[in-house]
Structure 1
Amino acid sequence: MAEHVRDKVIHILAEQAVLEPGDVSLDQTLEDLGIDSLGLVESIFAIEEEFDISIPFNANAPSESEFDISSIAAIVGAVEGLIAAQRS
């Protein structure tokens, strides 16, 4: 399941950045990918839709968000955590 989540999140972010998924690595940041604040919001909506989850993210105050966007790995981990919490 974890690989599935990772691959889907990377695909969504790569699409937003107009990159191939193979060009995205877990240690990169959204800034590395060229994803701006609007792209981040669109990516979050796409991730929410893909996994049927609600992401606790405030676009007006991203630094105060409970959703870690510091790296691609952090985003994948946060999505996995939300999916796990929804199932329990």
Structure 2
Amino acid sequence: MNVKDRVTRIIAEQAVMDVAEVTPDKTLDDLGIDSLGLVESIFAIEEEFDIQVPFNANNPEDSDFDISSVAAIIAAVEGLVAQQSA
């Protein structure tokens, strides 16, 4: 399972949706994920990939971790995974 599939699965679990409904163009708002769900998603992503996500839950718009869409989250996680293995 690649990064995209694993991140999509985590987000789908938080949204209580089928994985097929979690498309790259969707935002977390589109999926009904609130701030608590976002934080839980971040924790699950960190655990799944053994990475540290640079995310400020108190001020997400000032974060270095792009949460603007599912595609942005996938790209950010892919970058963190690549940094870790470098």
Between the aligned residues of both structures, percent identity stands at: 66
| Secondary structure class of the residue paired with 1:33 | coil
Counterpart of 1:58?
A: 56
Aligned residues: 86
| Unaligned segments of structure 1, at least 5 residues | none
Tell me the distance in 1 between the aligned counterparts of 2:38 and 2:22: 15
Matched, 1:23 2:21: yes
TM-score, reference length from structure 1: 0.96
Q: TM-score, normalised by structure 2?
A: 0.98
Partner of 2:4: 6
Q: Secondary structure at the match of 1:32?
A: coil
Gaps of 5+ in 2: none
Return the structure number with greater helix share: 1
